[in-house]
Amino acid sequence: MFKLLDRYIIKTFFGPFFFIFSVLFFIFIVNIVWIQLGQFMGKGLSYWEIIKLLFYYGVGVINLVLPLTILLSSIMTFGEIGERYELAAMKAAGISLTRVMTPLFFVSVLLSFTLFLFQNNITPDFQRKAKNMLYNIVQSRPALNFTPGQFIDQIPGYLVKFDKITGENGENLEGIYIHKKANSYENQQSIRAHRGKLVPSTENQNYLKLILFNGYVFEDQIANQNFAARNKQPDQAIKFDTLTSHFDISEIINKAIEEEKITDDYRFQTYTQLTKTIAKSQVENTKTFNNINVDLVSQVNPYITYIDRNKVPVNKLEQQVKMDTVKQDQQLRALTGAYNKIEILKVTVQNREQQMLPTIKSFSRVVLYQQRIIAYSVTCIIFFLIGASLGSIIRKGGMGLPVVIAIVIFIVFYVMNISVENLAWNGTLNPFAAAWIPNMILLPFSIWLTYKALTDSQLFDAEKYKSLFKPLTKLFSKEKEHQRYQ
């Protein structure tokens, strides 16, 4: 009987589980598309390359999708069982709520362990593929990757600069400068134009077509000529109204966009590898911070450096100047000099803090990423306890109230994640603790909810809360006329 009941409960759970997981995965993918759209759209990518890139990025959001899916599915499962009075029938048959929750508890433990293996072994590989693919796309699709006012050397053999770029697709250019790369023994050529238009070549996609208007071509024919002939050659400037140039970009267009050039990112590492990286970073950071401390201490008092180097006991140091024995103007100069040194030291300390902040932020990123490999797996179990307890208390299935409550809980969890992450980046909070604080806050809440569910608490009974505030509401409510004579 119990085995049949377990199969029924698990089947009821996985029905909404797969549906919710698919919907949430799609929502997170849409969010990625919205953020990354400008980086890979309009680069001449095929649909298959775009789908592959989105899939690589999508794998990285499973660590958030799976806990939320477990939370929603558990609330809907137990809410649906309670709404159909199946939960009441089980309790009437002598089956406790703990026994009903047991099979899904082990399922959530199995899912959390699967998430750990996935994040530790599969996610790093997909993160590497996604980052390298996006990097290669940006590097190998330069047609719409120009930055106004900067020299760009992505086009093979040329150095270009555009003062202003306008148009829906960045096709209108102003203030154009093009210089052909050549050594001192080859022909030199430079082009200046007031405006131009960048259009894809209709004849061959491996060429970039640039139409220039109102400009000059400066060219020196010095190839295969001696120095005397070069000195006699006059300066040449050719004015044009319209000039069409084609640039061969086949070398970068045909480059493999999945070639892996970036290999040193911490997100490409497993939990064990991250542990070694963290230990190495701690040693390097300690040396850096010690050097900064020694520098600051030496600026506070040069005698400290003297004592440290010469091992002079403090009690043998002689007082250099007695302030009460010098004149008032000398005292003022000494105090003014001390004040100026303190102000300079304050500025130095602030500069050192800004210098240390990137190191702290980088270290916190690595630690948070490593600890969350385990922390998100534990979150799956905590979310199951919360969802199963709420579902059995609310006893409402479907996509209404359970979804609202689950989203609120997840938003609270996500806000806590972001808050402690910012504190860790600023050096205010230990990153090891920051990764676990959301779970440490939600765990007592899940245990309390489970206790309330096991004791059949009317936690969401509106009448119960009305009765608590009934004496207070009587003070502000007017008694009805017909109630006086009852």
C-alpha 35/C-alpha 99 separation (Å) is: 45
Least confident span in 1-10, 70-79, 272-281? 1-10
Residue 142: pLDDT over 50? no
3-state secondary structure 62-112: HHHHHHHHHHHHHHHHHHHHHHCCHHHHHHHCCCCHHHHHHHHHHHHHHHH
**Whether 81 contacts 48, CB under 8 Å:** no
C-alpha 53/C-alpha 63 separation (Å) is: 18
Phi-psi group of 42: left, alpha or beta (phi > 0 → left; psi -120 to 50 → alpha; rest → beta): left
Query: Predicted confidence band at 108 (pLDDT cuts at 50, 70, 90)?
Result: very high
Q: Is the residue at 147 inside a domain?
A: no
Residue 143: pLDDT over 50? no
Instruction: Please give the residue that has the higher pLDDT: either 425 or 201.
Output: 425
**Which strands sit side by side in the sheet containing 172-180, from one edge to the other?**
158-166, 172-180, 188-200, 207-220, 237-248
Least confident span in 51-65, 134-148, 267-281, 400-414? 134-148
301 and 274 together in one domain: yes
Q: Give me the number of domains the chain comprises.
A: 3
Query: Which CA distances in Å does 304 have to 260, 286, 296, 351?
Result: 51, 21, 11, 22
Give phi and psi for 244, each to the nearest 5.
Answer: -110, 125
Least confident span in 24-28, 81-85, 373-377, 417-421? 81-85
Interval 287-311 mean pLDDT: 64
Q: Which of 339, 369, 399 finishes a domain?
A: 369
Q: Is the residue at 261 inside a domain?
A: no
242 and 346 together in one domain: no
Residue 12: pLDDT over 70? yes
What is the structure's pLDDT at 1? 47
Whole-model pTM? 0.65
C-alpha 389/C-alpha 387 separation (Å) is: 5
Owning domain of residue 273: 269-369
**Whether 156 contacts 142, CB under 8 Å:** no
Residue that has been written with the tokens 């680069």 in this structure: 43
Least confident span in 106-120, 245-259, 430-444? 245-259
Give phi and psi for 467, each to the nearest 5.
Answer: -65, -30
Q: Is the residue at 214 inside a domain?
A: yes
What is the structure's pLDDT at 144? 45
**Whether 367 contacts 429, CB under 8 Å:** no
435 and 317 together in one domain: no
75 and 205 together in one domain: no
Query: Predicted confidence band at 205 (pLDDT cuts at 50, 70, 90)?
Result: low
214 and 320 together in one domain: no
Residue 151: pLDDT over 50? yes
C-alpha 361/C-alpha 334 separation (Å) is: 40
Q: Is the residue at 441 inside a domain?
A: yes
The percentage of residues in the chain with a pLDDT greater than 90, rounded to a whole number, is 9
Query: Predicted confidence band at 378 (pLDDT cuts at 50, 70, 90)?
Result: very high
Question: What does 325-342 look like in DSSP terms, one character per residue?
Answer: GS-HHHHHHHHHHHHHHH
- In single-letter form, the type of residue at position 63 comes to N
What is the structure's pLDDT at 36? 64
Instruction: Please give the residue that has the higher pLDDT: either 115 or 2.
Output: 115
The DSSP bridge partners found for residue 188 are 220
Query: Predicted confidence band at 111 (pLDDT cuts at 50, 70, 90)?
Result: very high
Least confident span in 50-54, 251-255, 297-301, 450-454? 251-255
Q: Could you report the per-residue pLDDT of 228-266, keeping only the tens digit for each?
A: 666 667 777 888 888 888 776 665 555 555 555 566 677
Q: Which of 369, 390, 415 finishes a domain?
A: 369
426 and 450 together in one domain: yes
Q: Is the residue at 467 inside a domain?
A: no
CA 210 to mean position of chain CA atoms: 38
Query: Predicted confidence band at 384 (pLDDT cuts at 50, 70, 90)?
Result: very high
Interval 92-108 mean pLDDT: 86
